[in-house]
Amino acid sequence: MELDHKSEAGGAGPTGERRTSCGTESIMIPTYAVGAPSLNPIIGEYRQEKPYPYKMQDEIAETKVDKTYEALVAENEYLKLTVLPELGGRLYSAFDKRNGRELFHRNNVIKPQLIGLTGAWIAGGVEFNFPIGHRPTSLETVEAHVRSHDDGSASIYVGETDKISGLRFSVELKLLPGKAYLEQITRIYNPTPVPQRFFHWNTASYPDTASLVCRYPTRWIIDEQNRIRKPWPYDGHVDVRMARNIEKFSSIFTAMNEEDYFGVYDTDTEAGNVHVGDHREVPGSKFWSWGNHEHGRNWNLLLTDDDGPYMEQQAGNTETQYLYHYLQPHQKHQWSEYWFQAIETGPLTYANKHVVLTTVFQPEAEGGITLQLSMLANERLQGATVTLLHDEAAVFAATGDWSPERTEKWNARIASSCLAEGKLRLTVRDRAGALLVDHLIRHVEDVVTQDEEEVHAQDQDELTTRLVRLYKAEERHRYRETLELLDDLLATHPEYLEAHLRKTVVQLKMLDYAAAEATIEAAAGLIPFSDELHYYTGLVRYMNGKDKKAKSALLYVNDISAFAPSANLLLGKIALRDKEWSRAERYFAKADLASGVEGADVLRAYALRQRGDRAQAEMLLTEILASDPLQLYAAAELDQLTGGDRCKSIARDDVHNALLLAEWYAELSDEAGQRFALGIMADSEAAASVAAVATATATATAATSAAAAKEPLLLYHAGYLESQKGNAALASSLYEQAETCSSDGVFPILPLTLLALEDAVRLLGERAPRALYMSGLIYNAKERHAEAGRAWARCVELGFDYSVLYRNYGFLLMEAGKDDEAIEILEQGLELLPVNQDIAIYLARLYQRGGRSDKRLKLLQVLQAPGQRPQSAVRLSIEIYNEFGRYHEAIALLTEFKFSNWENPFKGMPDLRSLYHEAFNGRAAQAMREKKWDEAIRDLESSLRYPSNLRLGVEAGQTFAREHYLLALCYEKKGDFTRTLTHCRNVAQLRLAPDHLHYAEYVKAVQKMTELEWLGFGNDDAK
């Protein structure tokens, strides 16, 4: 966390002008703590994503404790912003002083639930999601910075580098003096040489009340998965304009938007939240509701103690969250959005950053129309004029001095023809005549045109074509599937250049540089004039260390090509490797001339420093950090020039950032830079070992071996640096130290790390099982499954008794359909202590697949081992108890254990709701066979509701048809025909369709109801 300087709240500058204050504050928030992350890496998919190398966070405390957070704050005369870097950089609070309300839903407790991509996630404020939704670091500390600007404004910056793709983002939250809006400036960067997929969505929240109105100026709703379009505002039979109408979980996306605003408004509190953003830059608008049914209400209670319920209004740069865009190589982009309140305006009908307004038209008895116009300015507008024009002729105008402190209201009478034909628009101009608002209220065509107009939207997109399958596989990082589809395409279209290039890119992302070279060289003869082909040919050769051959291809990239900046970057890096500083600087300067190019400016500063132009380099780096204060590489270069420690502040205690910086310098063949990067983790014991190596004393290196217990990846990288210099003995010493470190929670991902691990295996051989194991993690993450399997199999042969290894290797074999081999490995791993519960879970799945019920039953002993049992182990125990009819034991767990539920369960995880019904219905069935009707009734009635420890609620549309039917049978046997008929009617009113799971119970209940009514039961009810 960085602070440039702090200014007093709402204070004035030295010349008396108003300024926005900024700084840090400590705030105390009751918090349900998240437990230590899982030691098991996430090696499979979740929600169609691959979260590795991020860590699973699925253990959440049952009680809250007061916790102090270091917050970044900015404040002007209207708003105060509070951002929490420790919680993913979330905008926790945006307090509006004008009416004493929060701009967003403020959650006064930190209460995580299992909603995020890696588990724990919290509600409230605004979450910034890039490059995927509910990003893995939403509850981790991110880079953050706060500063004031010369114009009197102040900004809070948050951001990070994604560990999966290498993409980087930052969000600047800016307050200007005199403005009642929050400006959000989002910057996204692709520092990599290949395209990377992304989206950016803001998840903002707002209190959900019975009087909340959703104001989205759209004509269409689109389903994010099947892309079916429906006319707004109906989602099925539900009018979603009123939040109170929504019963179930609802994710409503609008489509084909042409307006730049949307919002919500509470008619009881007379306040609402407004979002403004260019619809071409931010085309996505959505709202999410948990719904007002019991299940949704339950989730709201789980996410807060006293501050719910809430809904979410979301804005993104894709139409839906099942759609991604691609940042091209070295591309960067930025855009602005605005958030502010609508106060006492009524449900908004238009907004931009200057004003929010509402137009309400009411018919008059004489045939005219009365306009009620409300407008709230977001800045002081002296002598401004609002005008209503019908076909460019003014029908109403008012001039005045407007401010954010007061909502202006007018009434005007206009002819009904103003709304019945032509164009009715509203404009606002400032005193100088500058246009601030140009709002088309309504445009009515003639009758014939309206009647003959076509509906300009497809009902549904075609999603089954081969190219769609290819697109979906590639954007979800399913590399093997993507390669298979591309090979299939090339088999019928061998000269399809784009397929060759896309295959090359996928292989580069898999770090399979040899395969990428074979692919691109095979395509080289297709056409000699493709700049894209020349660029990727040069890139692949460069990645394979063939700089001269790379240069020959890159020089063919035309200077006006879209690939020219990236080609110039590579040419500059080659020049740096040759220590041709001036040539490199010219290439980087050329690349930097193109707009939207990431990284050229920092590399240019690096070249300037290397050739001795230190003052020029420092000036350039200062300019870079002024606009992008979270730029790690720029901070590192400036620190080396000035002796500062800004880089350490950005990197924090995240070893990945140090390794990322080391990789940047390694690509430039800069040994000193790599040592600097590895040394920024100054507080870590492993960094102390690396620092000892920097003194080139092997004795000092050996002396620190016992202290290098926490950060083995730093040691592997330091060893690789020595190995590249030819110091094999020193490299081996560092590798040996790394091999003594724990592998727990160490999840490598970077290409340079893989090279280091492979080198450690080369030098140490059988003495490097940890390096072999970790290289398997990277192979697996890149879908090089055969190599991962070989690495892990060799670890097993070497006797590396680490349960996570057996768990990972068994999972890999299981997913490949090699069940017998998987069982053998997992059963070996099950003998290792402490027991890795995931191994038992995978074995249970394999035993079930193979019909080995006897072995599933024996797993109960493992699953019930002393110590804390994870949720998944308890669920599996219940599933096995149910399978063997041991319902008493299943019910004991169901009624005693405190469960946490995933919003989107993992593949293979037993469904808690189903387990509960199977247990109670199963025990009831046993009692019915023994004619113990009262016991059966008790269990069936228990199955109609959920105890609080399950943290479940009845879902909208949930039927309980089977339970009511069985209750009807029990009461019938007891001779209680009134209750029998009641339960039959409960089923009959459901009107289930033939494809429903419980259609048979429905039919039988209806027939029994009819029979009893025929006999005269219930006739009094009809009267």
pLDDT at 907: 80
Crossing angle of helices 564-577 and 600-610, rounded to 10°: 20
Q: What are the distances in angstroms from CA 193 to CA 248, 293, 538, 577, 783? A: 44, 49, 11, 17, 20
CA atoms of 644 and 636, how far apart (whole Å):
9
Residue with tokens 């830079």: 673
Burial of 817 (0-12, 13-18, 19+ CB in 10 A): exposed
Region 222-240: mean pLDDT is: 92
Q: Which of 204-213, 703-712, 964-973, 995-1004 has the lowest mean pLDDT?
A: 703-712
**Percent of the chain clearing pLDDT 70 (strictly above):** 95
Written as one letter, the residue type at 131 is P
pLDDT over 60 at 691, yes or no: no
Region 226-242: mean pLDDT is: 92
HSE on the CB side for 790, CA within 13 Å?
4
Region 840-853: mean pLDDT is: 93
Handedness of CA 932, 935, 938, 943 (dihedral sign): negative
pLDDT over 80 at 875, yes or no: yes
Strands 119-121 and 126-129: unpaired
pLDDT over 90 at 923, yes or no: yes
pLDDT at 14: 41
Region 946-959: mean pLDDT is: 93
Residue 526 in contact with residue 500, Cβ under 8 Å? yes
CA atoms of 960 and 659, how far apart (whole Å):
55
Query: First-to-last CA distance in the chain?
Result: 74
pLDDT digits (tens, 9 = 90+) for 355-381: 999 999 999 877 789 999 999 999 999
Region 200-219: mean pLDDT is: 96
pLDDT at 455: 81
User: Could you tell me the strand order of the sheet in which 381-390 lies?
Assistant: 393-402, 381-390, 422-429, 435-444
pLDDT over 80 at 765, yes or no: yes
Per-residue confidence band for 702, with pLDDT thresholds at 50, 70 and 90: very low
How big is the chain, counted in residues? 1023
pLDDT at 906: 81
Tokens of 654: 């995240």
**Residues facing 442 on adjacent strands:** 424
Strands 119-121 and 393-402: unpaired
pLDDT over 90 at 864, yes or no: no
Handedness of CA 406, 412, 418, 419 (dihedral sign): positive
Where helices occur in 43-199 by DSSP H, the ranges are: none
217: nearest Cα among 182, 255, 273? 255
Tell me 765's DSSP state.
Answer: G
Burial of 647 (0-12, 13-18, 19+ CB in 10 A): buried
415: nearest Cα among 439, 440, 438, 390? 390
Q: 180-212 b/e with 16+ CB inside 10 Å = b? A: bbbbbbbbbbbbbbbbbbbbbbbbbbbbbbeeb
Residue 91 in contact with residue 107, Cβ under 8 Å? no
Region 873-879: mean pLDDT is: 93
Give the containing element (helix H, strand E) for 337.
strand 332-343
pLDDT over 70 at 135, yes or no: yes
745: nearest Cα among 769, 712, 782, 719? 712
Region 948-975: mean pLDDT is: 95
> For all residues of the chain together, what is the average pLDDT?
93
Residue 535 in contact with residue 524, Cβ under 8 Å? no
Region 241-255: mean pLDDT is: 93
**Residues facing 222 on adjacent strands:** 229, 253
pLDDT at 697: 38
Report the 10 Å Cβ neighbour count for 945: 12
Give the containing element (helix H, strand E) for 862.
helix 853-863
- Which pTM was predicted? 0.94
Per-residue confidence band for 826, with pLDDT thresholds at 50, 70 and 90: very high
- Coil, strand or helix: which one is 96? strand
Q: Which of 27-36, 805-814, 827-836 has the lowest mean pLDDT?
A: 827-836
Strands 65-75 and 79-84: antiparallel
pLDDT at 709: 47
pLDDT at 714: 97
pLDDT at 2: 62
Written as one letter, the residue type at 827 is E
pLDDT over 80 at 280, yes or no: yes
Per-residue confidence band for 13, with pLDDT thresholds at 50, 70 and 90: very low
pLDDT at 703: 32
pLDDT at 7: 44
Per-residue confidence band for 870, with pLDDT thresholds at 50, 70 and 90: confident
pLDDT over 80 at 298, yes or no: yes
Region 242-263: mean pLDDT is: 94
Output the CA angle 398-402-405, nearest 5 degrees.
140
pLDDT over 70 at 17, yes or no: no
Map out the domains of the chain with their CATH numbers.
Answer: 21-342 (2.70.98.10), 354-441 (2.60.40.10), 653-698+707-798 (1.25.40), 801-855 (1.25.40), 869-949 (no CATH), 959-1022 (no CATH)
Which is higher by pLDDT, 450 or 575? Answer: 575
Residue 789 in contact with residue 809, Cβ under 8 Å? yes
CA atoms of 4 and 576, how far apart (whole Å):
33
